[in-house]
Structure 1
């Protein structure tokens, strides 16, 4: 799940489109597009998902890091949350161009034993949300968001942002394990705090819950897109078994699959959006 392979591939896919400069030079409102995939928004959020891996807290908090440029310029950091004990990191801030709060979660650190334990703790945990009967989720990912300092830090920062900027929408993103945490965060803010989750866009996200959870999640956070790469194994984990639907893990619908197609000497970058069950065999599975 290391950043070096998965998120860089996603950014390389975007490079041919970046030569024309920023497409969002003025404040934009994504509410009218909240149920549709927006490629420009995905390119912006992959930069936010990349920046959260920066280890220099000062550069990240002041938004002066090497990845804090280009399509994320002008970002106003509200809070950088670092949980040293569990090797977790996230930040919350406001993107004036998007007129939205942006929350980004870091994925697995390659040399973090704690992260790998969380990733591999596949035991399913009962989830108690209103109306969510028989829903079960990945114990490790759930705990990484709910049972560490990450959740209170994120919630407090979002509430402060609302006090400063009004009840603007929220964009949530993350890569790998960060995508799993981003999903729990989006649902938490929606159900418990009435947030307008403008979009949740994740990169290389593993599965996080059973079919009941996936259905409930899609109902409450419909503007969700999982961006995957053709060679990435992480989105295939934990395993999906068609013959054991209640206990197995399911993806949310709306996968955006990035892959290459060679025709003679030409190589094309393909972006395929799948809007079915989340386990569409015509996409990356």
Structure 2
């Protein structure tokens, strides 16, 4: 009996030893996106604006976050999935000559519970058409199995019919970044979209190394921006001892962090290697800050008020809306028409969701 116990221990030790230091490497030809600071600071404003709860101001692009570098943006569609507390918009940025798609992240009032959840999440979904690629079921479902996806696809079609074959830029923060990534992959693989560019902020891991390799090849023009000790990019956890079964970021990461002492502090924007898991970037520090998660480039990425799925809307805006039997709705307009922006006053409504 004692001999058997020693044998089991020896086998287990050998397995651990053989895994140690043998992390899975994402296969790539180093053809990933070139980091553009200016573009990142523009798209982070879109990622911030999608958190706005006043849909009148968002639809007419008159909200307090709808100016600055995003001024003049024309919203084509806002999609709100009431059941899952999800929100996204699609529109045209003429200064970028592009369609911009932005996904809202997790409501900040539920981030703590959401973070705790991610510590225990396991890979549980085979990604269609990608052998050995596995992804996080919740993030995949949030994009693919809700009202978000059909709304996005329809609005892209309408925008292209009116404006022509524009580039597509996809962005989002936190879980919104995860949804943005699945959206970009969907557009590239299933809809043969060209010139799809992605910049996300504080995005969690969404798949394993096999998935990351496929993603890097199919959507190479992707930047994941991480901020200092932001906790979310460290989740779900990366376990180097179990390379086949662990979550793995896809490339390319840009890590923002402060360097200096006392008053001499410099902001560094480090472009990381093509592995997706550069040990000298965000993985070099402990991910323990929610504050670092909620602000990128000095821009707040959260809702204005600490409330669950709060929305307000002028009754006249509802003329642009369609609601399904579950209460989910879409605000959309024909790109050729203008939306009346003056004398609109929103009325408050609140929807409670478990998201």
TM-score bracket for the superposition, by shorter chain length: 0.7 to 0.9
Match of 2:208 in 1: 210
| Farther-moved stretch of structure 1 (234-243 vs 254-263) | 254-263
Match of 1:122 in 2: 121
Instruction: Give runs of aligned pairs for residues 262-281 of structure 1, distance below 5 A.
Output: 262-263=260-261, 265-281=263-279
> Quick one: distance in 2 between partners of 1:152 and 1:125?
24
Larger radius of gyration: 2
Q: Is the 8 A contact 2:188 2:196 kept in 1?
A: no
Query: Alignment partner of 2:84: what SS?
Result: coil
Deviations 1:238-272 (A, max 9, x none): 01011111110000111100011114631101110
Instruction: Give runs of aligned pairs for residues 11-30 of structure 1, distance below 5 A.
Output: none
Instruction: Give runs of aligned pairs for residues 141-160 of structure 1, distance below 5 A.
Output: 141-160=139-158
Q: Does 1:37 align with 2:16?
A: no
Match of 1:7 in 2: none
Match of 2:94 in 1: 96
When residues 283 and 34 of structure 1 are mapped into structure 2, their CA distance, relative to the original with a 3 A threshold, is closer
Instruction: Give runs of aligned pairs for residues 189-208 of structure 1, distance below 5 A.
Output: 189-208=187-206
Query: Alignment partner of 1:257: what SS?
Result: strand
Q: Is the 8 A contact 2:32 2:252 kept in 1?
A: no
Match of 1:10 in 2: none
**Cα deviation, residue 112, structure 1:** 5.1
Which structure 1 residue ranges, 5 or more long, are not aligned? Answer: 1-32
Which structure 2 residue ranges, 5 or more long, are not aligned? Answer: 1-30, 284-355
Kindly tell me the number of residue pairs found equivalent between the two proteins.
251
Q: Does 1:251 align with 2:249?
A: yes
> Quick one: distance in 1 between partners of 2:64 and 2:194?
30
> Quick one: distance in 2 between partners of 1:267 and 1:65?
33
**Cα deviation, residue 117, structure 1:** 9.6
> Quick one: distance in 1 between partners of 2:53 and 2:116?
20
Query: Alignment partner of 2:142: what SS?
Result: helix
> Quick one: distance in 2 between partners of 1:192 and 1:170?
15
Structure of greater relative contact order (alpha carbons < 8 Å, 6+ residues apart) = 2
Query: Alignment partner of 1:111: what SS?
Result: helix
Match of 1:109 in 2: 107
Instruction: Give runs of aligned pairs for residues 40-189 of structure 1, distance below 5 A.
Output: 40-111=38-109, 116=114, 120=118, 122-130=121-129, 132-189=130-187
Match of 2:344 in 1: none
> Quick one: distance in 1 between partners of 2:82 and 2:117?
17
> Quick one: distance in 2 between partners of 1:65 and 1:118?
33
Query: Alignment partner of 2:282: what SS?
Result: coil
> Quick one: distance in 1 between partners of 2:232 and 2:265?
25
Q: Is the 8 A contact 1:197 1:221 kept in 2?
A: no
